[in-house]
Amino acid sequence: MKNLFCLKDLSVEEIIHILDVAKECKEGKYIDACKGKIAANLFFEPSTRTQYSFQVAQAKLGFHVISFNASASSMNKGESFYDTVKTFSSFGVDAIVIRDRQDEYYKQLTTINTPILSGGDGKKDHPTQSLLDLMTIREQFGHFEGLKIAICGDVKFSRVAHTNIEVMERLGMKCYISGPEEYREDQYEYIDFDTAVKEMDIIMLLRVQHERHDSEMQISKEEYHEKYGLTMERVHQMKENAIIMHPAPFNRGVEIADDVVECEKSRIFPQIENGVFVRMAVMMRALED
């Protein structure tokens, strides 16, 4: 049984192994490898990509999938988060995928005797998003060492930024942050957005995560787009081999211009495609002894 709470728990070798298995999944291996197993997906926070690509991954592996609807569950009668997860474990399911808005929710679940895979916790970590980002970067460049990435936007409230910077630095990448002052964090190196556009190998854009904020954004959407939005004019200044990434969902006309979403440098939809294969890899890993 192997949990996947955050990538900090995994060595570089383990991360590379997951990416290697994900590549094999993309080549068509491991179909029905988990036939007869049961997976429960407990999403206590909205999700399209993570929730449904886990489902597609599980379907390819042959899992029977139980999707949980929190609003139609006994949580409405006051049942706790822990008791809900413990109930699914008691059903005898083989793996549980959880997304919750609490940072490090999994610290409450260490006594649960079923493998748990995180689909994101609060603003702390999003391990499978980082794995699919790494898979997409490796497909483009063939390596990580020496690559320069700027993660631009709402870094402060982004579990994607926090997980990616930690793991990318361990893999030898140079990470910068960019975007509005109100969303920066002092522990990360800041780079001006227009400089980043010209110098980076990867520009990773982030959505402003209003649902995690206590107050309104200090600048308007129009001002955000003018100062920090990736427009076609800026795309033309990027290095020849450089790419654009975004975990999505994206806000067209705010952090990214409409015509940039599917431009030649964009890897946004390939990232989503790769999500299925890294999630196949981590589902198989969850069942290992």
Residue ranges that bind ligand CP, judged by CB under 6 A: 47-51, 120, 129, 247-249
Nearer to ligand CP, 94 or 133 (CB): 133
Task: Report, in Å, the least distance between residue 69 CB and ligand CP.
Answer: 16
Nearer to ligand CP, 120 or 122 (CB): 120
Nearer to ligand CP, 121 or 201 (CB): 121
For residues 238 and 266, is the Cβ–Cβ distance under 8 A? no
For residues 63 and 39, is the Cβ–Cβ distance under 8 A? yes
Nearer to ligand CP, 50 or 114 (CB): 50
Task: Report, in Å, the least distance between residue 123 CB and ligand CP.
Answer: 12
Task: Report, in Å, the least distance between residue 274 CB and ligand CP.
Answer: 12
Task: Report, in Å, the least distance between residue 22 CB and ligand CP.
Answer: 16
Nearer to ligand CP, 51 or 118 (CB): 51
Nearer to ligand CP, 114 or 129 (CB): 129
**Residue 119: how many other CB atoms lie within 10 Å:** 25
| Nearest alpha-carbon partner for 140 in 26, 244, 248, 246 | 244
Task: Report, in Å, the least distance between residue 224 CB and ligand CP.
Answer: 20
Q: How far apart are CA 42 and CA 36, in angstroms?
A: 20
| Token duo for residue 18 | 């997951």
Q: Which residues contact 51 (CB under 8 A, 6 or more apart)?
A: 41, 43, 67, 99, 119
Task: Report, in Å, the least distance between residue 48 CB and ligand CP.
Answer: 4
For residues 60 and 31, is the Cβ–Cβ distance under 8 A? yes
Q: Which residues contact 199 (CB under 8 A, 6 or more apart)?
A: 148, 191, 239
β-bridge mates for residue 152, sequence order? 178, 205
